[in-house]
Amino acid sequence: MTDDIHTRNKQVIRPLRRALYDYEPEAVQAALDTAFHRDAAVHLAYPFEDLDGAAELFGRAYAPLAAAVPDLERRDTIVMAGPADDGSHWVGCCGFYTGTFVEPWLDIPPSGHQVAMRFHEFFRMVDGRVAEMQALWDIPEVMMQANAWPLSPSLGREWQVPGPALQDGIVAGPRDDARSEASRKLVSDMLAALTDYATGGVEAMRLPDFWHPRCGWYGPAGIGTCRGIAGFRNWHQIPFLNAMPDRMGSGGEGFLFGDGDFVGFTAWPIISATISGGGWMGIAPAGQKVTMRSLDFWRCENGLIRENWVLVDILDVYHQIGVDVFDRLREFNKARIPHAKNLIHFS
Q: What angle do CA 51, 55, 59 make, to 5 degrees?
A: 80
Query: Which pLDDT value is given to residue 338?
Result: 57
Query: Which pLDDT value is given to residue 248?
Result: 84
| DSSP states of 291-341 | EE-EEEEEEEETTEEEEEEEEE-HHHHHHHTT--HHHHHHHHHGGGSTT-T
Rounded distance between C-alpha atoms, residue 199 and residue 40, angstroms? 41
Rounded distance between C-alpha atoms, residue 18 and residue 36, angstroms? 15
pTM of the predicted model as reported, rounded to 2 decimal places: 0.94
Neighbours of 335 (CB within 10 A): 10
Query: Which pLDDT value is given to residue 3?
Result: 65
User: Positive or negative CA dihedral for 231, 236, 239, 240?
Assistant: negative
Alpha helices in 116-270 (DSSP H): 139-145, 177-194, 197-205, 207-210, 228-232, 238-243
Query: Which pLDDT value is given to residue 196?
Result: 73
Regarding the domain delimited by 177-332, which CATH topology (the fold level of the hierarchy) does it fall under? Nuclear Transport Factor 2; Chain: A, (3.10.450)
Rounded distance between C-alpha atoms, residue 290 and residue 246, angstroms? 11
Query: Which pLDDT value is given to residue 31?
Result: 98
Tally the C-alpha atoms within 13 A of residue 266's C-alpha that lie toward its C-beta: 28
Q: Which residues of the chain have pLDDT under 50?
A: 1-2, 339-340, 342-347
327, amino acid identity: D
| DSSP states of 265-303 | EEESS-EEEEE-SS-STTPPPS-EEEEE-EEEEEEEETT
Regarding the domain delimited by 5-145, which CATH topology (the fold level of the hierarchy) does it fall under? Nuclear Transport Factor 2; Chain: A, (3.10.450)
Residue extent(s) of CATH 3.10.450.50 domains in the chain: 5-145, 177-332
Query: Which pLDDT value is given to residue 235?
Result: 95
